[in-house]
């Protein structure tokens, strides 16, 4: 039996690492292209000022780069150290993108970073420029592969995996389908465009600081012009792709979309709650809930969730109640029914191995047939009992673990809505900034400059909220519908996990403060002499 206290510590450790890692990674993804773009202008024009601009932003990028890289390796290790069962059960699918990421992306990043940072005087301008672009490409390719891996965790499908009854694990069947899964592709685009937005906000904000102080004006104007234009494109792209992302989520992770929107009871023409305060509801209360329940107060926009999630004005969107207690009208199975089928699959697995041990071939065949029997047909896609095995593990818990059947609504709802609100703020800021730059009024518009300056930390908050809604929203699964979180964790004594949690916490706090101190100093000292 899993020690749930230890499980929560292991989750907290992973979440802490992920959030800390993602303070640096998106900045790297965005700034690498921004720096390469500045350098291109320098190489084309040959003007020393553009070299200074490039080197200034590169120094800031460099401080982030190392810590982003180092926190990335913690993840790779933690999959093995703290989530060893996960690594065994899905390693065949999850390991391949990680390895490809290493071969294709990491070496490109690490190799060309050496030239980009230290080669200013050792290589030609052309080779240096090429290195800057390859560094940016390597960083972004790295994001692609890890998000392919994450996409699999969000929406595993029989298009690219099968459950092997002999090895008792998931195995890859079609790598191309794994790569091209729509969930991963929209996730990648959403993440990288958010990262470009972050970089643009940072460059615009720091440039605005210099404008407000009347320092390095020419430098600031040039930087802000590039940032306003790229930020406008990126921030709009985030929203457009975010809409596609939400559509994918609605059709692949119904419990997540219900929690993101606080939808307790499903309905036709379901609304989006623009602002609201979700109520805590026990499973018993959810069982008795009626349409519209779930909020202490809300400002709802009718039909929008149906349009967003199903692209239909009056489409039915299931709520938490439908998803855990079932809804016959729409063919939705109850949690208990899913658990019962899953439990039968687990029993088949054990029967198969017992028969194998006894040399009973007939027994093996019978168990395997039952294991792979088709139990449902969802819109033409046949579902095998084996695919529901993950639900069967919940039979170990009281009441089939029904209270864990969906993610906690309030944190998912709030993190998602705050992310969206911030996303709209970035679009507004960049529209105003871009128009002002075009009209040549940005340089005197103190209010807009101050707004840009105070916006600097917000992309970090928005991106963290985005990941929180995605990852907490996937609970209680590590691989949605396939592997429960409590069956993924390494069985360790609590003290080990607590000790490493604090070991990393102290390191992250110290290194994080050091990082910020260095960033502030570079910004304070300005572009002169930055190299």
Applying the rule CB under 8 A, the residues between 347 and 406 that interact with another protein are 349-350, 353, 356-357, 359
Please select the residue that binds another protein; options are 2, 35, 89, 241, rule is CB under 8 A.
89
Query: For another protein, which stretch binds (CB under 8 A), given 180-188, 267-275, 307-315, 495-503?
Result: 495-503
Query: For another protein, which stretch binds (CB under 8 A), given 308-316, 384-392, 412-420, 509-517?
Result: 509-517
The least CB distance from residue 68 to another protein, in Å, is 9
- Tokens standing for residue 403: 């209270």
Please select the residue that binds another protein; options are 166, 312, 369, 444, rule is CB under 8 A.
166
Please select the residue that binds another protein; options are 337, 496, 498, 505, rule is CB under 8 A.
496
Residue 347 makes CB contacts below 8 A (sequence gap 6+) with none
The least CB distance from residue 439 to another protein, in Å, is 37
The least CB distance from residue 518 to another protein, in Å, is 5
* Binding status of residue 180 toward another protein by CB under 8 A: no
Neighbouring C-beta atoms of residue 131, cutoff 10 Å: 22
310 versus 353: smaller Cβ distance to another protein: 353
* Cβ contact 203:210 at 8 Å: no
Proportion of the chain in helix, strand, coil states, percent, rounded to 5: 75, 10, 20
* Cβ contact 486:2 at 8 Å: yes
7 versus 234: smaller Cβ distance to another protein: 7
302 versus 529: smaller Cβ distance to another protein: 529
Taking the C-alpha atoms of 158, 159, 160 and 166 in order, what is their torsion angle to the nearest 10 degrees? 40
The least CB distance from residue 21 to another protein, in Å, is 11
Please select the residue that binds another protein; options are 4, 44, 46, 76, rule is CB under 8 A.
76
61 versus 333: smaller Cβ distance to another protein: 61
Q: Coil, strand, or helix at residue 288?
A: coil
Query: For another protein, which stretch binds (CB under 8 A), given 73-81, 187-195, 251-259, 466-474?
Result: 73-81
Please select the residue that binds another protein; options are 12, 40, 95, 283, rule is CB under 8 A.
95
Task: Give the separation between CA 487 and CA 85, rounded to whole angstroms.
Answer: 7
* Binding status of residue 46 toward another protein by CB under 8 A: no
Query: For another protein, which stretch binds (CB under 8 A), given 162-170, 224-232, 321-329, 446-454?
Result: 162-170
91 versus 408: smaller Cβ distance to another protein: 91
* Binding status of residue 529 toward another protein by CB under 8 A: yes
412 versus 522: smaller Cβ distance to another protein: 522
Q: Which helix (H) or strand (E) holds 377?
A: strand 374-378
* Binding status of residue 55 toward another protein by CB under 8 A: yes
- Tokens standing for residue 146: 């890890």
Instruction: Write the DSSP string, 446-505.
Output: HHHHHHHHHHTTHHHHHHHHHHHHHHHTTTTEEETTTEEGGGTS----HHHHHHHHHHHH
* Cβ contact 276:262 at 8 Å: yes
* Cβ contact 108:58 at 8 Å: no
The least CB distance from residue 302 to another protein, in Å, is 47
Answer positive or negative: Cα dihedral of 281, 282, 283, 286.
negative
* Cβ contact 424:243 at 8 Å: no
Binding mask 300-319 for another protein (x = CB under 8 A): --------------------
* Binding status of residue 425 toward another protein by CB under 8 A: no
Task: Give the separation between CA 210 and CA 206, rounded to whole angstroms.
Answer: 7
Query: For another protein, which stretch binds (CB under 8 A), given 64-72, 222-230, 312-320, 377-385?
Result: 64-72
Please select the residue that binds another protein; options are 65, 152, 247, 465, rule is CB under 8 A.
65
- Tokens standing for residue 90: 């899905």
74 versus 448: smaller Cβ distance to another protein: 74
Q: Coil, strand, or helix at residue 278?
A: strand
Alpha helices in 155-290 (DSSP H): 175-180, 182-213, 217-252, 254-260, 283-287
- Tokens standing for residue 55: 């080197």
β-bridge mates for residue 477, sequence order: 484
Answer positive or negative: Cα dihedral of 258, 264, 265, 270.
negative
The least CB distance from residue 366 to another protein, in Å, is 17
Q: Which of residues 317-346 bind another protein (CB under 8 A)?
A: none
Instruction: Write the DSSP string, 46-104.
Output: --HHHHHHHHHHHHHHHHHHHHHHHHHHHHHHHHHHT-HHHHHHHHHHHHHHHHHIIII
* Binding status of residue 505 toward another protein by CB under 8 A: no
Count of residues of this chain found to bind another protein when the rule CB under 8 A is applied: 94
* Cβ contact 306:318 at 8 Å: no
* Binding status of residue 53 toward another protein by CB under 8 A: no
Start-to-end CA span in the chain (Å): 56
Q: Which of residues 102-161 bind another protein (CB under 8 A)?
A: 102-104, 106-115, 117-123, 127, 131
Binding mask 5-34 for another protein (x = CB under 8 A): ------------------------------
Query: For another protein, which stretch binds (CB under 8 A), given 173-181, 233-241, 370-378, 402-410?
Result: 173-181
* Binding status of residue 66 toward another protein by CB under 8 A: yes
- Tokens standing for residue 462: 């928005």
62 versus 271: smaller Cβ distance to another protein: 62
* Binding status of residue 81 toward another protein by CB under 8 A: yes
β-bridge mates for residue 276, sequence order: 298
The least CB distance from residue 324 to another protein, in Å, is 27
Q: Which of residues 430-449 bind another protein (CB under 8 A)?
A: none
Task: Give the separation between CA 406 and CA 278, rounded to whole angstroms.
Answer: 15
* Binding status of residue 478 toward another protein by CB under 8 A: no
């Amino acid at each position: 039996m899993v020690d749930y206290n230890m499980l929560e510590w292991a989750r907290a450790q992973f979440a802490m690492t992920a959030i800390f890692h993602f303070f640096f990674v998106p900045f790297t993804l965005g700034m690498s292209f921004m720096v390469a773009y500045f350098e291109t202008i320098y190489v084309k024009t040959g003007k020393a000022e553009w070299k200074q601009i490039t080197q200034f932003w590169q120094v800031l990028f460099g401080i982030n780069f190392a810590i982003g890289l180092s926190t990335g390796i913690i993840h790779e290790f933690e999959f093995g150290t703290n989530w060893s069962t996960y690594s065994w059960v899905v390693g065949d699918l999850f390991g391949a993108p990680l390895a490809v990421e290493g071969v294709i992306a990491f070496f490109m990043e690490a190799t060309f970073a050496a030239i980009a940072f230290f080669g200013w005087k050792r290589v030609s301008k052309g080779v240096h420029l090429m290195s800057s672009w390859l560094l940016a490409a390597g960083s972004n390719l790295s994001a692609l592969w890890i998000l392919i891996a994450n996409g699999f965790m969000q929406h595993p499908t029989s298009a690219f995996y099968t459950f092997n009854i002999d090895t008792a694990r998931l195995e890859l069947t079609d790598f191309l389908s794994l790569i091209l899964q729509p969930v991963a592709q929209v996730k990648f685009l959403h993440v990288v465009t958010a990262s470009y937005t972050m970089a643009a906000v940072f460059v615009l904000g720091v440039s605005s600081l210099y404008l407000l102080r009347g320092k390095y004006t020419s430098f600031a104007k040039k930087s802000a012009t590039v940032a306003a234009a790229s930020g406008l494109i990126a921030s709009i792209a985030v929203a457009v792709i975010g809409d596609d992302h939400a559509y994918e989520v609605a059709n692949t992770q119904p419990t997540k979309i219900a929690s993101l929107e606080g939808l307790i009871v499903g309905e036709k023409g379901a609304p989006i709650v623009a602002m609201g305060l979700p109520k805590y509801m026990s499973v018993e209360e959810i069982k008795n809930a009626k349409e519209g329940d779930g909020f202490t107060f809300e400002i709802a926009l009718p039909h929008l969730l149906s349009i967003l999630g199903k692209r239909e004005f009056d489409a039915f969107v299931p709520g938490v109640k439908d998803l855990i207690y079932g809804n016959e009208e729409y063919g939705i199975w109850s949690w208990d029914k899913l658990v019962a089928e899953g439990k039968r699959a687990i029993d088949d697995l054990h029967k198969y191995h017992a028969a194998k041990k006894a040399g009973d071939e007939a027994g093996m065949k019978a168990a395997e047939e039952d294991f792979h029997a088709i139990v449902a047909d969802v819109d033409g896609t046949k579902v095998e009992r084996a695919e529901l095995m993950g639900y069967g593990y919940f039979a170990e818990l009281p009441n089939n673990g029904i209270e864990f059947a969906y993610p906690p609504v309030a944190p998912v709802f709030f993190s998602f809505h705050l992310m969206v609100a911030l996303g709209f703020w970035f679009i507004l800021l960049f529209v105003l900034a871009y128009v002002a730059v075009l009209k040549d009024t940005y340089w005197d518009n103190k209010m807009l400059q101050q707004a840009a300056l105070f916006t600097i930390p917000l992309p970090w908050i928005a991106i963290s909220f985005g990941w929180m809604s995605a990852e907490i929203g996937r609970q209680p699964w590590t691989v949605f519908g396939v592997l429960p979180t409590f069956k993924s964790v390494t069985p360790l004594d609590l003290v080990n996990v607590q000790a490493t949690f604090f070991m990393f916490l102290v390191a992250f706090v110290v290194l994080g403060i050091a990082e910020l101190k260095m960033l502030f100093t570079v910004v304070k000292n300005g572009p002169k002499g930055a190299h």
